[in-house]
């Protein structure tokens, strides 16, 4: 007779999987992806290393799932802000500001997610989620163009430019791991917001 999982077995497996991801996420937050080792993750999760490999066939698979778990949360937060009440410019500013401030509150984790060289499986996930951020910001720009709040523009390109600008502008502050003053961080965030709003509110240059 073929083995069938019971609800209790499935629940136990999912709880174990989530425990592994939680341990790995904490390791990334403390020391980046480089700090995640299968043996130490297994030990912290109360498992044998061989058991860990039943859940994640490779270190790359584990890192990709950690990335996916954490970044999906950030995409969901940005999406909720973008869909809130208020004018399009205010919502766009709030979405950009929320992303930047959340990154600066967890600089080690954010630096690892956005910049740290890592397994190709994580790099592939980065591309997926960059498109997710661009879709949210592009949706706001499209709404702004339709309402007359923003001039006509190449929305997909502009949205991707904003995502790139967000990432590049955060390199320095995140690499400093929160060592700057609160005033400096506020100034950085406001500069990022101002840049993104200027990018979509200025008339597009014509050749």
Region of residue 48 (phi > 0: left; psi between -120 and 50: alpha; otherwise: beta):
beta
Write the pLDDT tens digit of every residue in 159-188.
Answer: 999 999 999 999 888 887 767 678 888 999
State the Cα–Cα distance between residues 125 and 140, nearest whole angstrom.
23
Band of pLDDT at residue 203, cut at 50, 70 and 90: low
| Domain locations along the chain | 7-201
Question: For 79-127, what is each residue's pLDDT tens digit?
Answer: 999 999 999 999 999 999 999 999 999 999 999 999 999 999 999 999 9
Q: What is the pLDDT of residue 5?
A: 65
Tens of pLDDT, residue by residue over 40-72, are 999 999 999 999 999 999 999 999 999 999 999
Q: Which fold has domain 7-201?
A: Tetracycline Repressor; domain 2 (1.10.357)
């Amino acid at each position: 007779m073929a083995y069938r999982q019971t609800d209790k077995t499935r629940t136990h497996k999912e709880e174990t999987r989530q425990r592994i991801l939680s341990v790995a996420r904490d390791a990334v937050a403390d020391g980046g992806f480089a700090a995640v080792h299968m043996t130490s993750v297994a030990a912290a999760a109360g498992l044998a290393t061989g058991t860990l490999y039943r859940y994640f066939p490779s270190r790359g698979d584990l890192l990709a799932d950690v990335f996916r778990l954490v970044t999906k949360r950030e995409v969901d937060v940005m999406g909720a802000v973008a869909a809130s009440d208020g004018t399009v410019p205010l919502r766009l500013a709030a979405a950009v500001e929320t992303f930047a401030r959340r990154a600066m509150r967890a600089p080690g984790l954010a630096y690892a997610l956005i910049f740290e060289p890592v397994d190709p499986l994580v790099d592939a996930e980065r591309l997926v989620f960059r498109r997710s951020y661009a879709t949210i910001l592009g949706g706001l720009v499209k709404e702004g163009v339709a309402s007359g709040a923003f001039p006509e523009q190449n929305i997909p390109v502009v949205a991707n430019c904003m995502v790139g600008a967000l990432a590049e502008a955060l390199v320095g502050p995140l690499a400093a791991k929160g060592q700057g003053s609160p005033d400096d961080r506020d100034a950085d965030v406001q500069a990022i917001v101002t840049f993104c709003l200027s990018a979509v509110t200025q008339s597009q240059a014509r050749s």
